Amino acid sequence: MSVVVGVIWAQTRDRVIGSEGTMPWHVPQDMAYFKQVTRGSPVVMGRRTWESLPEAFRPLPGRTNVVITADDDRAQQLSEQGAVTASSLEDAVERARPHAAETSTVWVMGGGAIYAEAINKGLARVAAVTQLDLSVDGDTYAPELDPAQWHLVSAAPEEGWQASESGVGYRFETYARR
Ligand SMILES: NC(=O)c1ccc[n+]([C@@H]2O[C@H](COP(=O)([O-])OP(=O)(O)OC[C@H]3O[C@@H](n4cnc5c(N)ncnc54)[C@H](OP(=O)(O)O)[C@@H]3O)[C@@H](O)[C@H]2O)c1
């Protein structure tokens, strides 16, 4: 079965992806896009990203939610809350794989160190990056996609920004590993 691993995130101009356990912006179109891209695919995330989801929305519906933690007690609680737990990124991807349809994608959905690990270890082949025309302070960052290793496959809009209802400009970019 040829399951691809992808990463998906939204970042500001400075690659900020989070601040104090949350995303410091409101772009409903990005949430809708995330839902559309990941629906039906397993998702992999770190324990803090899981905790950043509103309780009523976790596990994210229609998707196997694999959560990475190094803490056995937390793992027990997480599985009682409906998550599949894993002790490393590789373990998480292996646990997610059987839940992916053939030729579908396992989506790694954060946070910062987990994205970096997925990129640096060569696990991720696809990156769905929402660019936000915004500058905010943050404490969590997306890794850089090295142009020598990644190329832009598509962007919507192709140039410039689409305006969200909150006024923030956004653009959906898809990259593939060369
Ligand atoms: N903009 C976006 O698209 C986006 C997407 C996702 C998240 N975010 C934001 O990012 C922030 C959360 O991300 P984060 O980087 O702080 O945390 P995170 O990666 O979601 O979670 C970190 C936790 O995951 C577990 N973990 C991570 N790597 C591990 C490893 N190799 N082995 C074992 N356990 C591991 C550990 O849990 P234990 O401590 O339980 O062991 C660690 O404390 C929030 O602000 C969130 O809103 C933004």
What's 13's domain CATH number?
A: 3.40.430.10
47: Cβ below 6 Å to ligand 1? Answer: yes
Q: Residue 56: what pLDDT?
A: 94
CA 32/CA 147 separation, integer angstroms: 28
Expressed as residue numbers, the domain containing 65 is 4-177
- Residues contacting residue 37 through CB under 8 Å, at least 6 positions apart: 8, 107, 128
**Distance of CA 86 to CAs 71, 79, 96, 141, 167, Å?**
10, 10, 10, 23, 38
Q: Residue 105: what pLDDT?
A: 95
Q: Residue 1: what pLDDT?
A: 59
Pairing of strands 65-68, 162-163: unpaired
59: preceding bond cis by omega (within 30 degrees): yes
Ligand 1 mutation target, pool 22, 37, 49, most atoms within 8 A of CB = 49
Q: What is the pLDDT along the chain (178 residues), one digit of tens a residue?
A: 578 999 999 999 999 999 999 999 999 999 999 999 999 999 999 999 999 999 999 999 999 999 999 999 999 999 999 999 999 999 999 999 999 987 789 999 999 999 999 999 999 999 999 999 999 999 999 999 999 999 999 999 999 999 999 999 999 999 999 9
Q: Residue 33: what pLDDT?
A: 98
Ligand 1 mutation target, pool 20, 45, 69, most atoms within 8 A of CB = 69
Q: Residue 2: what pLDDT?
A: 74
Count structural domains, the chain.
1
